[in-house]
Structure formats: structure tokens, C-alpha cells
Amino acid sequence: MFLGTQPRILQNQAHALYAAIFRVLPGTTEVRIHVLRDGRLAPFEAPPGTLPAEPAAYAGHAADGSLVGWAVPGEGPGFMDTIKLIYGYDPSRRVIVGLEVLDSRETPGLGDKIITDPAFRANFAALSIDPRIVPVKSGKKQGHNEVDCITGATISSEAVVGILNESSIRWAPLLAPAEPTSEVTRHESD
């Protein structure tokens, strides 16, 4: 049963990931996958719809070929289980521009508000990663690097912030304001 359904499951996962990438990077018309190898980004070359097994970041490009930003996956422990998410990152401004939760088993009606609460989701429209992202009580947000937590779902809210902080420490240095090298850009557009 597993072997028979695995290709369809992988196809559905790839479709969900790409749909999330386009949501967290508005204006994206093309996605180019880059994997982390030996501490550097390298283009991922595989048939369309194939997802890398290696850590990856997804460069979103506009119709004119310019870089919109990067979609970066992250995951970490939540209140109930692992939270998996992807966020849009604008390296020129060092801000998160969108966030989608890909998988979460947080408490229905409370922790799952990290997915459904529009006020919480609004935190991630222009969230600075500098010096780090800080969770604050609901309604207390004052800085560009602060996230208003959800009342009753503080642990889940703080888990999202923790995932973003860990991921940005790892990925931001690798995601320069332009693609890693002009060679990668030429190679991908050929």
C-alpha cells in the first residue's frame, strides 16, 4: 500500500509546497530551487515536481526575472508536535514578508490559530529579523521585529517565533540580496 501511494503523496506534498511559496512571495511567477551543499547554495537539478532531500531554499522570481525573495522552510517543536512552516524572506530589507504553516498538530481552537488567526498572520507582512524576532503579549507589539502572540496559544506563537529565529540565523547569511552567483542565474535561465 505504501509503495503504491508514495508517488501520489510526494506529488501532493510538492504541489502544497509550491502553492505556499507563491503565497509567501507575492509577485513570484517562477521558482528556482537551491540546495545547501558543503555550506554553499547550489542549483537543484531534477525533474519538475521533484523535491530535494537536502536542505533547500526557493528563489522566487518575477516575470521580468528579478528576484522577489526567498521562500525558506523551517520546523521545530510546538506545544503538541512539530510545526513545519515556510516563510518569504526579502534579503535586501532583511524582513519576512509572508508565512504559511505547512503542517501542525497544535490544539484545535487554540494553537491552530497560528494557521487561521488573521491578526497573528499579519505579523509576518514586514517582520524584521534584526536583531532577532521577539514574541510579545497580544496587543503589546511596538517594534518591527516583534510578534503579537495569540492569547491562549502563547506556546504555539512562541514556537513559530523560535523557528523563524533559528532558521534566519542559518539561512540569512547565505541569501544575499541577489542570487548566490551570476553563474547560477545564467544556468537556471538557459
pLDDT in tens, 20-73: 999 999 999 999 999 999 999 999 998 877 899 999 999 999 999 999 999 999
* CA 34 vs CA 60, 70, 71, 84, 105: distances in Å: 11, 10, 11, 19, 29
| 150-176 confidence digits (pLDDT tens) | 999 999 999 999 999 999 999 999 998
**Mean pLDDT within 74-102:** 97
Measure the CA–CA gap between 23 and 85, rounded to whole angstroms. Answer: 12
pLDDT at 149 over 70: yes
> pLDDT above 90 covers what percent of the chain?
80
pLDDT at 182 over 80: no
CB neighbour burial string for 58-94, b if at least 16 within 10 angstroms, e if fewer: bbbbeeeeebbbbbbbbbbebbbeebbbbbbbbbeeb
Instruction: Grade residue 181 by pLDDT with cuts at 50, 70 and 90.
Output: very low
User: What is the reported pLDDT for 183?
Assistant: 38
pLDDT at 180 over 90: no
Q: Are 40 and 175 in contact (CB under 8 A)?
A: no
pLDDT at 185 over 60: no
Instruction: Grade residue 190 by pLDDT with cuts at 50, 70 and 90.
Output: very low
User: What is the reported pLDDT for 189?
Assistant: 37
Q: Are 157 and 149 in contact (CB under 8 A)?
A: yes
Grid-cell match 521545530, residue found: 76
pLDDT at 3 over 70: no
pLDDT at 178 over 80: no
- Among 3-17, 39-53, 73-87, 125-139, the range scoring the smallest mean pLDDT is 3-17
